[in-house]
Amino acid sequence: MDLNRAAVFVRVVETGGFTRAAEAIGVPASSVSRSVSKLETELGVVLLERTTRHVALTDAGRAFFERARDALVGLDEASDLALDAAREAHGVVRIAMPPDLGAQTGTLFAQFAALYPRIRVELTFTARGAELVGDLVDIAVVLGRLPDSALIAKKLGNATHRLFASATYLALHGHPKKLADLVHHDVLLMRAHAGAARLEMTGPRGPEHVDLVGRLVADHVGFVIDAAVAGLGIASLPAFMGERAGLVAVLPRHAHDMPLHVLTGGGRHLPHRVGLLRDHLATALAGQCKAHL
C-alpha cells in the first residue's frame, strides 16, 4: 500500500473535502481525488461517498481512517525520535527525587553532565514526585508504594531502611530490645501524619509493626540525620545514610525494604534527552539498590 495515498486520504477526512485537502497539501484537487481513487482500487473497497458538495466516510472508510491516522502519527513520532537521537542531545529535563536520596545524587548528575554537556537538569526534591510527572516534571524517582496511574514505571530495586541513633543517645537511654520498646524512646519520624506514624519492619520473627508518636517530625532526611547525630532520638533511615553519618545501628536484625521506581509519562513519545537521563538514573540507582542502598 502506498503510504502517501493513505496520508492524502487522512487529510481529506480531517479537512472535510478534496479542495481543502489540496490547499493544505499544496497540490491540485484533481491529484487528491486521483490519489484517493487509486487507494480505493488498491484496497478493493469504497472509502468515501462523494457528492457535489461533500464527502462522507463509508463504514470501511471510517475503520481505515482511524487505523491509518494512528499509524501516520506513530510514523511522525518515530521520525521525530530518530532525528532527535541523531542530533547531540540538548535541552532541559525536569526531575523530582525523594529527599531520602538527596545525599547521594550529586555524583550521579555529575557523571551525566560529563556525558551530555548540552542537557540542563532542573531537580526538585519531594516525596510527591509521582503526582508531578507530566505537568511539572519529566521524570520522578519514587521511594515507596506507587499510586495507581497511567505512568510508565520501572522498578530499580529496594532501598533498605534500618534504625539508627547516636552513641550518646543510646548511652543515656539504653538500647531497645525489641521493636515494641520504641514506644518508650524518643523517635524521629519522616512525613508523619499529625505527629504519629506506624513503623513496619521485618525482624527475625517476621513482619512487625509499632505505632509511634514522634518527638520530632520532619520531611527532609538530612535534617533527621542531623537530629539523630545530635542525640535527639532513634530514626529509621536508608542504611547507607545512617552508616555514613557514623550512627549506631539499633535492632540491627530489623529492616524495612522500600521499592524504588523511576517514572515517566504514559505517552508514546519520550524526548531523547529525557530517555537518556531516565536510563542513566535507572542504571546507577539499580546498582546501588543491589549494594543495599
Rg, Å, the chain Cα set: 29
Range of the domain at 253: 159-258
Q: Report the DSSP beta bridge partners of residue 96.
A: 124, 140
Same domain, 104 and 130: yes
- What pLDDT is stored for residue 166 in this prediction? 96
For residues 249-278, one letter each, b for 16 or more C-beta atoms within 10 angstroms of the residue's C-beta and e for the rest, the string is ebbeebbbebbbbbbbbeeeebbbbbbbbb
Residues 233 and 274 in one domain: no
* Co-location of 253 and 164 in the same domain: yes
**Are residue 106 and residue 26 in the same domain, yes or no?**
no
Q: Rounded CA gap, 88 and 85, in Å?
A: 7
Q: What is the mean pLDDT of residues 158-171?
A: 92
> Where does residue 51 rank: exposed (0-12), middle (13-18), buried (19+ CB within 10 A)?
exposed
Mean pLDDT confidence for 17-44: 82
Q: Is 41 strand, coil or helix?
A: helix
How confident is the model over 228-248, as pLDDT tens digits?
999 999 999 888 788 888 999
pTM above 0.75, yes or no: no
Give 90-146 pLDDT, tens digit per residue. 788 999 888 767 656 777 888 888 888 888 889 888 877 888 887 788 988 887 777
Strands 206-213 vs 256-264: parallel, antiparallel or unpaired: unpaired
Q: Residue 103 in contact with residue 241, Cβ under 8 Å? A: yes
Helix axes 105-115, 272-290, angle to 10 degrees: 140
DSSP reduced 3-state for 256? strand
pLDDT at 53 over 70: no
Task: Count other Cβ atoms within 10 Å, centred on residue 76.
Answer: 11
**Which CATH number fits the domain that encloses residue 223?**
3.40.190.290
Q: Are 210 and 204 in contact (CB under 8 A)?
A: no
Total domains present in the chain: 3
Residues 169 and 138 in one domain: no
* Angle, alpha carbons 227-228-231 (nearest 5°): 90
Residues 278 and 135 in one domain: yes
Euclidean distance between the first and final Cα of the chain, in Å? Answer: 54
Query: What pLDDT is recorded for position 202?
Result: 93
Residues 228 and 216: their CA atoms lie apart, in Å, by 10
The span from the CA of 57 to the CA of 47, in Å, is 6
Same domain, yes or no: 73 and 57: yes
171 shares its domain with 144: no
Residues 205 and 235 in one domain: yes
CA–CA gap between residue 221 and residue 226 (Å, rounded): 9
Task: Indicate which CATH number applies to the domain containing 34.
Answer: 1.10.10.10
Rounded to the nearest 10 degrees, the angle between the axes of helix 3-15 and helix 29-43 is 120
Residue 254 to residue 245: CA distance in whole angstroms: 19
> Tens digit of pLDDT for each residue in 189-203?
887 777 788 899 999
